[in-house]
Structure 1
Amino acid sequence: MIRISLFLVLFVIGRAQAETQFGGRFDQERLTAVYTEALTFIAPRILEPVPVRRLTIWGLQGLTALDANMRVVANDARVQLFRQDQMVSDIVAPKDNTPTAWAKLAAAITADCMPVSAPIRRVGTQGIIQGFFDQMFGRLDPYSRYVPPVEASEDRARRGGRAGLGITVGQKGALIEVRSVVRDSPAAIAGVRQGDILAAVDGQRTQDQDPVTISALLAGAEGSPVTLSWRGRDGRTRDAQVVRVMVPPETVFAQRFEDVLVLRISSFSNSTASHLALSVQDALSEPHPVDGIVLDLRDNRGGLLRQAVTAADAFLPAGLVATTIGRDPDSMNVWRSTEGELAENVPLVILVDGRTASAAEILAAALADRGRAVVVGSETVGKGMVQTIDPLPDGGELFVTWSQTLAPLGWPIQGLGVLPQVCTSLGQDALNRQLASLSTGFQPMADSIRRSRAARLPVRASEVLEIRAPCPASEGRTADLEAARLLISNPAAYAAALLPPMVDR
């Protein structure tokens, strides 16, 4: 991400004029602009109100983190900067609490430390900005963060996808094989299928080439054409000219195990909900429809909240999916499903583990609370806080926590996570006993599940630990899918594991 070059460094002593190793001259104007935008955005949106003054002083502790000899002291009247015992800066505190005034103060204090601190000069303007936000957000919550410009640019490209045809390729002897095709991508529309042999790209033969070289040929500017030649499994060679578009990475991977459809969802991107629905429709339209569906959310760290809500909507009748609450009016939403549901009478099981988080937890909680799915696995992460994104003048981005999510039954996902109805993390013997009990209509986890669903904000830390204890978080295991298939094949056990249908609120 970062190209490092070696060059001579000239230090010129003077306020706001010190040159740095990485960023050229210290840019006080850029610092002021970034801090002004950030404080303006953060102050009204964070979950608990914090004065702009305090946010700024927290951020200025980044100077101490960069140079232990620097110390910021603030009272109601003044903000002072010391290097060891020597005062370096003494500025009258703004009488108002406006972001602009405090941003200017923070930039001025920082400029005053430049001539006397070699460590701070070395990190440059970008390092100072990083330190400012690290210290501020470290006092707010675990998820708010600053992303520097280069990384932010790559994140934006990753969220939106990249221009290409929607295929990945690999080596098959001397040939190039199509390993995956993103649904609805240009390649898929042209008829390219997984397992086909890619013969040529724009007339250039692929035989004896490596996959990295061919992947580079397939990528290009958005809207640019490329001609493909490929051989299908029927042995026929086909040619087509296709146009490169921005293709979000595939996040839904379907696999059928006898009469059970397993849909692994790796994350939630712009196309996840639609690809999930299409995969289910494909399975239901086959000559031998599936007996059950498994949504595998293990190791899914989340993604776009709207996509999780839309995915839940596909399986639910009209009703509540999730609620987000915060201080900013725009952060408060009631997410609801609409009439019409896929696979209405088909058993649905969700696999989770100790790495299932965020949007994935929202989907699991919604389908479980509404009595539509049985969750199998272990306790999940418990990340129920939602971040909003703010682009900054330096090209970086702020991710600021501005709301937290409540499941349909009203319990907070943050901290608690999703307690499964069938626990696999206590070992095979315990799992076998639970499945046997469910077959008789008895749910051993009933009391624990009732307690978790009855929790309301604020939840004490001790209570969080007690609620999570019956099914400790762990990595996914083979027993998860085996348990899911057993539930699908045993209607009595599946019915006993389901929560009762929720009365809409």
Structure 2
Amino acid sequence: MARSLARRSRAHRARRPALVRPIRRIVTVLCVMLPICGAQAGQRGFDSTHAAAVWGAALAFMAPRTLQPLGIPRMAVWGLSGITALDSDLTVQEQSGKLLLFGPNRVIFATLAPPVGDAAKWGVACAAVAAHAFAASPTIERAGTGGMIRSFFDELFNHFDPYSRYVAPREAATERALRLGLGGIGMTLARHDRIVTITGVTPSSPADRAGIAPGMQLLAIDGRDAAAQPVAQLQQELAGPIGSMIDLTIRPGHSLPQTITLARALVPTQSVTGQIDDGIAHIRVLGFDHGTARQFAAVLAQLVQAQPAPKGIVIDLRGNRGGVLRQSVLSLDTLLSQGTIIHTIGRDPAANKVWHAEGADIAHGLPVVVLVDGGTASAAEVFSAAIADNDRGVVLGSATLGKGLVQSVTELPGGGELFVTWSRMIAPRGWPLQSLGVFPQVCTSLGTDQLAKQINALRHGVDLLAKPLAETRAARAPMPLAEVLALREACPAAIGGNGYERAAAALIDHPAAYRAALIRPLLPHARAGG
């Protein structure tokens, strides 16, 4: 039969020589494609190597950092509960030194538990269990390797605080881009009357490379008059897709206006804006991102040097969800020349730190009022607490969110990220930020009538919130939830509301009321630190 086929093939080649090359090319393509198809089929299986690397790295990172000593085996078994979360017919237990995967009425897989402290081997063991679950369950197979990895962390972090979490590679890349900044030109603005001035330029940004410098006036964006728009709106217009073009009309000093075309690039987010209204400098801080401290210092310096000089400063942190702790600390260095800013306490020695003010008050003692609400959190709460506890200003608004935990972040194999709570934040006077939040010196959430009564009483040297303020500053961790709720009830958290700006202006316009609202007269013997 083979010889017959060979003879036919030779006869065929003799009659059809032109088809030889195409047939050979087809055979060659098939030979190349088949291994690729096999590889693609293999990728549909569970990637034990990748899962082991991710879980091993995560367990190694978490073990020394969690607030309570949990141990690698316990965390691994918690994570493997993600198998049950995907398929309730499967469960995982650690018994007699073994990891056991159970199915309905049988043991599907068993492996020896690794040494207690070997995170890498626990990662391998967890991946082996997950691979057998993958083979036994169509539901887990449909979830894929990525779904199994995510379910592991979902179940693990069910035993943690709300802020510890895993972020999958694609979402992590997006979050990293947001932390680093969106497309823009690297420029901060402030407005005094109808003049919009450039207060800061990010080094190596498109604005910097074009020769734009602080002190120049911004006249128009894409032909639209800048003087007619709020500063916050102008900052939003400067941002846009990376690579998109923008036209700026600039006046350098007393020179003639000139229009410059720039391409937006990746620069730190413009998180600080400022302007002067009715003789009061207003600064809005959207979040404490990379670059916020530099922007804050530039805007503050520009506003306090205005002529006529402002009579006070209002810093708006409403809705500010926090961000990078160090950026909050560096921002405070522009208002505090001494004193404790925050104390962080954790199990890992590297988490224990006392942050002290190391700057200079470039506002030269001008009255400061910080606006907060129930959406003010984390690094923004650190800023508010430090201003109040160091007697540098008055916090006005409602009780804040109460996020007083600090997360340590690591990038995992494959590009995912792990956020693990590793320390608690303690305010300068020793009270915990977690759950309690910042209790304001002037409360807006009790209604406009009560707010008016507070301001009027402060003008006469009487603080109606003296008792709850003293109680919150005397609080110490750990605190029962009932006690936390009772303290916060005196000025409940609220989002939005009326009267903030009017009340802030009333404090700045009446020095006696401002002094009466400061913390130190209420707590002359309060101790700093935790």
Q: Does 1:417 align with 2:441?
A: no
**What displacement does 1:88 show?**
1.4
- List aligned pairs for 1:177-216, cutoff 5 A: 183-185=200-202, 186-187=206-207, 189-190=211-212, 194=218, 196-198=220-222
TM norm structure 2:
0.81
Rounded to whole Å, the distance in 1 between the matches of 2:316 and 2:399 is 14
Greater alpha carbon shift after TM alignment, 97-106 vs 488-497:
97-106
Distance change (3 Å), C-alpha of 1:218 and 1:161: closer
Q: Deviations over 1:199-226 (max 9, x none)?
A: 7xxxxxxxxxxxx999778627xxxxx8
Distance change (3 Å), C-alpha of 1:67 and 1:504: closer
Contact 1:386-1:401 within 8 A present in 2 as well: yes
Counterpart code for 2:212? A
Counterpart code for 1:352? V
**What displacement does 1:239 show?**
4.9
In structure 1, the residue matched to 2:427 is 407
Contact 1:71-1:84 within 8 A present in 2 as well: no
Rounded to whole Å, the distance in 1 between the matches of 2:166 and 2:197 is 34
In structure 1, the residue matched to 2:7 is none
Counterpart code for 1:198? D
Contact 2:269-2:290 within 8 A present in 1 as well: no
Counterpart code for 2:390? R
Q: Does 1:306 align with 2:326?
A: yes
C-alpha RMSD of the superposition = 2.9
Residue from 473, 488, 491 that aligns with 2:493 = 473
Counterpart code for 1:183? G
In structure 2, the residue matched to 1:440 is 460
Contact 1:377-1:476 within 8 A present in 2 as well: no
In structure 1, the residue matched to 2:21 is none
**What displacement does 1:121 show?**
0.8
Please tell me whether Structure 1 or Structure 2 has the larger radius of gyration of its CA atoms: 2
Could you list the runs of 5+ residues in structure 2 that have no partner in the other structure?
1-38, 189-195, 224-235
Say which SS state the counterpart of residue 377 (structure 2) adopts.
coil
Contact 2:281-2:304 within 8 A present in 1 as well: no
In structure 1, the residue matched to 2:269 is 249
Contact 1:18-1:115 within 8 A present in 2 as well: no
Say which SS state the counterpart of residue 190 (structure 1) adopts.
coil
Contact 1:165-1:218 within 8 A present in 2 as well: no
Counterpart code for 1:196? A
Counterpart code for 1:337? A
Rounded to whole Å, the distance in 2 between the matches of 1:346 and 1:291 is 7
Counterpart code for 1:184? V
Distance change (3 Å), C-alpha of 1:292 and 1:70: same
Rounded to whole Å, the distance in 2 between the matches of 1:436 and 1:76 is 70
Q: Deviations over 1:188-246 (max 9, x none)?
A: 752686551437xxxxxxxxxxxx999778627xxxxx8x7544589966255768654
Q: Does 1:286 align with 2:306?
A: yes
Distance change (3 Å), C-alpha of 1:213 and 1:297: closer
Q: Does 1:268 align with 2:249?
A: no
Rounded to whole Å, the distance in 2 between the matches of 1:214 and 1:284 is 24
**What displacement does 1:481 show?**
1.5
In structure 2, the residue matched to 1:130 is 150
Residue from 127, 130, 136 that aligns with 1:110 = 130
Distance change (3 Å), C-alpha of 1:90 and 1:193: farther
Say which SS state the counterpart of residue 355 (structure 1) adopts.
coil
Counterpart code for 1:109? V
Aligned residues: 460
Residue from 434, 446, 460 that aligns with 1:426 = 446
Counterpart code for 1:115? A
Rounded to whole Å, the distance in 2 between the matches of 1:488 and 1:337 is 24
Q: Deviations over 1:407-450 (max 9, x none)?
A: 10011101100000101101111111111111111111111111
Contact 2:200-2:299 within 8 A present in 1 as well: no
In structure 2, the residue matched to 1:496 is 516
In structure 2, the residue matched to 1:327 is 347
Contact 1:252-1:264 within 8 A present in 2 as well: yes
In structure 2, the residue matched to 1:56 is 76
Greater alpha carbon shift after TM alignment, 269-278 vs 336-345:
336-345
TM norm structure 1:
0.84
Say which SS state the counterpart of residue 416 (structure 1) adopts.
coil
Contact 1:18-1:26 within 8 A present in 2 as well: no
